[in-house]
Amino acid sequence: MLERILRIGIVVLLLLVISVIAWANYTVTHTTEKQLYSDVNTIPKNKVGLLLGTAKYQDKARHMVNPYYQNRIDATVALYMAGKIDYIIVSGDSTAFYNEPVLMKEDLVAHGIPAARIYMDVAGYRTLDSILRCRDIFGLSQFTIISQPFHNERALYISNHKQINAIAFNASNGNSLWDQIFREKMARVRMMYDLLFNTQARYYGERVQIR
C-alpha cells in the first residue's frame, strides 16, 4: 500500500513539474510574440540597444567562436548601421580572467561602431540583472534587446513584468538544441520564480547617463 502511494506521488509530482514547464513556456512565448522583430527594415528605432552577453568561445583553447555570440554581434552591427539604434549597452558576465562586455565591445568596434557609442555593463550576470540594470543604472524605460529568439522572449517577459517598454531584434540561432529547448525551458521556470519573489539584480551602483 505504501509503495503504491509513493508511486502515485511520484507520478503526480512529475505531472506537476511538466505542467509548470509547459505553462511557463507557453506564457512567455505567446505574450511577447508581437514585440519580436527579425527584419532590420521593419523594427522601430530606439535610442539604445541592449546586447545580452554569452561566451565568445565554445572551447577552452579559444579556437571555436560560439555561433550564438557571433550572430548577436552581427545583429547588433546590422541594427546600428541601419540607424535603428544610436547607442549600445553590452551586458554580460565578467571576472578577473574573462569579461564578456569587453570582448563584445572590441568586436563591435572592429566592425566599425565607434567606441564612444558603446557602454559596458559588467554586472549583467543573468538576463534579469541585465534588464534591471538597464532600467535602474542606465535610466532607460525603453530599449531594444538583442539576442536569439528564445532568449529574447524571456528578456521581453521580464521587461513587461517590470513595466519597461522594450522590443527585441532576433539574431540568428546557434546550433545547440540543448540551449533552445531544454536549458531555456528550465530558465523560464526560474524566471517565473524570480518575478514572483521580486528577485533583484546582484549589483547596482552609480547611475550612468547615456548621451
pLDDT tens, position by position, 109-153: 999 999 999 999 999 999 999 999 999 999 999 999 999 999 999
Expressed in angstroms, the distance from the first to the final Cα of the chain is 70
User: E strand or H helix at 152, and its extent?
Assistant: helix 149-161
Q: Nearest CA to 156 among 41, 23, 33, 74?
A: 33
Instruction: Provide the residue ranges of all domains of the chain, joining segments of one domain with +.
Output: 2-196
| Whole-angstrom distance, CA of residue 56 vs CA of residue 207 | 28
Q: How high is the pLDDT of residue 177?
A: 63
pLDDT band at 197 (very low <50, low <70, confident <90, very high): very high
Whether the CB-CB separation of 207 and 137 falls below 8 Å is answered with yes
- Read off the pLDDT of each residue in 47-64 and give the average, rounded to a whole number: 88
| Fold of the domain spanning 2-196 | Rossmann fold (3.40.50)
- For the segment 77-114, what is each residue's pLDDT rounded down to a tens digit? 999 999 999 999 999 998 767 799 999 999 999 999 99
pLDDT of residue 41 exceeding 90, the answer is yes
Report pTM: 0.92
Whether the CB-CB separation of 211 and 89 falls below 8 Å is answered with no
The DSSP-derived string for 104-134 is HHHHHHHTT--GGGEEEETT--SHHHHHHHH
